[in-house]
A and B are shown apart, each in its own frame.
Chain A
Amino acid sequence: MNDYLSGLGALLEQYDVLGAFWTNIQLTFWGALFALVIGTMLALMRISPIASLRWAGATYVNVFRNTPLTIIMTFLVLAVWTQLQVSLAADFNSNFFRLAVIGLAVYHAAFVCESIRSGVNTVPLGQAEAARAIGLSFLPAAQLVILPQAFRGAIAPLGNTLIALLKNSTVAAAASVSWETASTMKTMLEFNADYRWEIFALFAIGYVILVIPIGLLTTWLSQRLAVKR
């Protein structure tokens, strides 16, 4: 029993599990921030008066929503970094971390866009008519009337997208971010097969601990901020 515990303790000392989770949290934070910005722009494009913008927004969503994230990550390394020589930092670790953030952002932006659109669909038609009636043109109407209500209606799907993003941050492994959780767990399993269940439980529970609060928070927020109609 003591051997068992000390073995487990040595394992935790040898591998930086908390650091790995911290990497995924950082990936998620930056990825979510950029995905929200890009996704909101895409949503605006998709409801805008200009047909070509609507088309461009729809094309973006259709392409990125249907591409495996693994392929996006690999593409960033093989095409953007290797061939187009776009370096985001001189330091390799920062460079690939940032590439992974871009990969997460462009992929999830498509889902953010669809979440916001579903939020826009919860805004009653009368709101848009009223905005137009008081003389607002498209952008002010969107900014002052539609989007604030749409975001509230979109909190639940946006929360789901955030949870998906957190879990998908493990795919950063495909962009050579080898110190994140999935890669760390893989290495730990390879060299410590005896503790297989414990290692998996450690990482799985870590994600449960991160995911459940996001789920509870978004449910609470979406109920609290719901536009009463």
Chain B
Amino acid sequence: MSSSVLFDAPGPRTRALIRGGNVLGALIALGVLAWLLVQLDAKGQLSWDLWGPAFSARTWEFYLLPGLQNTLQAAAYAIVGALAFGMIFGMGRLSKIAPVRWVSGVVVEFLRAVPVLLMMVFFYGLFGVVLPGVADKAFLAVVVALILYNGSVIAELVRSGVGSLPSGQGEAGLAIGLTDGQTLRSIQLPQALVAMLPAMVSQVVVVLKDSALGSIIGFSELLRSGQIVSSGDGNPLQVLALVAVVFILLNMVLTVVAHRLSKLLSSRTSGLTDEGPGIGNPTVVAGGAGGGAGAV
């Protein structure tokens, strides 16, 4: 649907006005950029003495790439664990047995309410006492905190995914003689999972972003390894800029994948293939009625 419903196609005068506005806006943006560069240059922050080391093979080979590997590894463990956790508790919340439903509900709501940074700090201390033999406790603390938080989000996705299916799907299952559990497992969940896939990819973005919190408890992920290399080279800002670019590119690719998937899969399931907001808390699927006036 085009956005042109909200306004007329601009006429020659408006087009000229918009062009003028664009030029003015671009000039202002360029001016701000120039001011930034001049300011940074005045502080010597554009010097190649600082940027050179950040781009050097040594920095990437020994610090940033191992850091990126740790980030990706933590994210991979976390998303797989969160998927398993989310499936179990999502099904728990849909259970016909009331106590199972309540317990799952309390666990999921609790984990969704606690900041993931608090969980990381807590588990890091806890693992020190209960898991003395494990070599990399910071890594483990990051992964467990991410699993618990994102697992609870995925549990909600499972629940809302099943909820978004037309009720005919479940009724059809019961009509052919399947039990409630069989209907859930063999008819509703498979469709809900397909519908969830885009939101799951968005959730990977959340996991990747949150893994950077591990730097606060000393986990050598990308951000932390950047801090280590810059302490020898004295260029924290330059390395941080590179680390930020890596994160943004990685996450943008995932966001695009999520978007494509949601369009691709919408024909494969009767559920809603919403790609999710990528902030952690799943958006309650709103209405679904109406056309969408301003969709771009």
Contacts and interface: CB of A to CB of B under 8 A. Distances in A.
A180 to B, nearest CB: 10
Given A125-B292, A153-B287, A203 B118 contact: yes
Interface stretch (A1-9, A98-106, A164-172): A164-172
Nearest to A63: B248
Interface residues of A, number: 83
Given A68-B209, A196-B125, A123 B294 contact: yes
Contacts of B294: 47, 117, 120-121, 123, 128, 146, 150
A193 interface: yes
Interface in B196-229: 205, 208-210, 212-213, 215-216, 223
Given A122-B290, A146-B6, A111 B36 contact: no
A66 B113 CA distance: 22
A54 B7 CA distance: 14
Contacts of B43: 83
A49 B7 contact: yes
Contact of A129 (B5, B117, B252, B277): B5
Interface string B88-128: 00000000000000000000011011111110011001100
B117 A120 contact: no
Contacts of B22: 50, 52
A157 B248 contact: no
Given A49-B6, A79-B237, A146-B294, A171 B117 contact: yes
B172 interface: no
B68 interface: no
B18 A193 contact: no
Interface string A46-60: 110111101010000
Interface in A68-89: 68-71, 74-75, 78-79, 82-85
Contacts of B237: 78-79, 82-83
A95 interface: no
Interface stretch (B54-62, B135-143, B278-286): B278-286
Nearest to A182: B117
B247 A66 contact: yes
Contact of A125 (B112, B247, B291, B296): B291
A193 to B, nearest CB: 7
Contacts of A114: 277
A67 B277 contact: no
B175 interface: no
Interface string A121-158: 11111111101100001100110001000100110110
Given A120-B293, A174-B216, A212 B113 contact: yes
A78 B240 CA distance: 9
Interface centre among A67, A82, A190 (most CB of B within 10 A): A67
A160 B293 contact: no
Contact of A208 (B5, B114, B247, B284): B114
27 contacts: A47-B294, A49-B10, A51-B18, A54-B296, A66-B205, A66-B251, A66-B255, A66-B278, A68-B212, A70-B215, A74-B240, A75-B240, A83-B43, A115-B283, A118-B286, A121-B293, A125-B292, A132-B8, A137-B7, A154-B286, A156-B283, A160-B281, A163-B113, A167-B280, A186-B121, A203-B118, A208-B113
Interface of B: 1, 3, 5-8, 10, 18, 21-22, 25-26, 36, 39-40, 43, 45, 109-110, 112-118, 121-122, 125-126, 129, 205, 208-210, 212-213, 215-216, 223, 236-237, 240, 243-244, 247-248, 250-252, 255, 277-284, 286-287, 289-296
